[in-house]
């Protein structure tokens, strides 16, 4: 995370919590106006307001309301967590989007490889069944021909 250490008594998470609360209290907020009006100079130095907003958007608690990414609006997921206690309780319940570990990625690749191998075997089985059926049909026709020829 961006600056998890204390800086003048403020943590990055606490600033995210304040930003989420401000977004919850308003329908849409301009993040730069909020930084200028509600955050002190020390808080602005501690965390970049754009980074805080990006963090909340990444965790799907808020969403950008404009294409310039300056207007922030709260999502239903964000409203849910505000009712449950805000950003800090969201973190406490460890619902932070986790990045995929290399072990999980490797396991997914192995599963994909196994699926491809099984699909290959199914196709071979399908074609073998078709060939055996054709041979059986040809032998039946030949047997009928030999029976009628007598």
Q: Global pTM?
A: 0.56
User: How far is the C-alpha of 20 from the C-alpha of 90, rounded, in Å?
Assistant: 11
The pLDDT of residue 9 is 42
Average pLDDT, the chain: 84
> How large a percentage of the chain has pLDDT more than 90?
37
The pLDDT of 103-116, averaged and rounded, is: 90
DSSP string, 121-149: HHHHHHHHHHHHHHHHHHHHHHHHHHHHH
pLDDT tens string 16-44: 888 899 889 887 888 888 888 877 776 66
Nearest 5°: phi and psi at 145? -60, -45
pLDDT of residue 116: 95
What is the per-residue pLDDT across 48-60, written as a single tens digit (0 to 9) for each? 788 888 989 998 9
Task: Name the more confident of 40 and 86.
Answer: 86
- Distance in angstroms (rounded) separating the CA atoms of residues 109 and 131: 33
Residues forming a β-bridge with 32:
none
Confidence of residue 120 (pLDDT cuts 50, 70, 90): very high
Partners of 69 in the beta sheet?
A: none
Question: Residues 97, 59: contact at Cβ < 8 Å?
Answer: yes
Whether 62 and 78 have beta carbons less than 8 Å apart is answered as: yes
pLDDT classification of 45: cutoffs 50, 70, 90: low
Q: What is the pLDDT of residues 58-72, one digit of tens each?
A: 989 999 988 888 899
Q: What is the rounded CA–CA span in Å between residue 82 and residue 72?
A: 15
């Amino acid at each position: 995370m961006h600056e998890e250490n204390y800086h003048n008594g403020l943590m990055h998470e606490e600033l995210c919590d304040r930003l989420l609360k401000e977004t919850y209290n308003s329908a849409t907020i301009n993040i730069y106006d909020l930084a200028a009006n509600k955050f002190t100079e020390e808080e602005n130095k501690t965390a970049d307001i754009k980074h805080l907003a990006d963090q909340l958007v990444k965790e799907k608690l808020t969403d950008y309301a404009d294409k310039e990414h300056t207007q922030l609006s709260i999502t239903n997921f964000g409203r849910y967590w505000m009712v449950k206690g805000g950003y800090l309780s969201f973190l406490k319940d460890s619902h932070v989007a986790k990045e995929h570990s290399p072990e999980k990625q490797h396991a997914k690749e192995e599963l994909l490889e196994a699926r491809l191998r099984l699909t290959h075997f199914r196709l071979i089985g399908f074609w073998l069944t078709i060939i055996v059926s054709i041979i059986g049909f040809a032998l039946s026709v030949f047997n009928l021909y030999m029976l009628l020829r007598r």
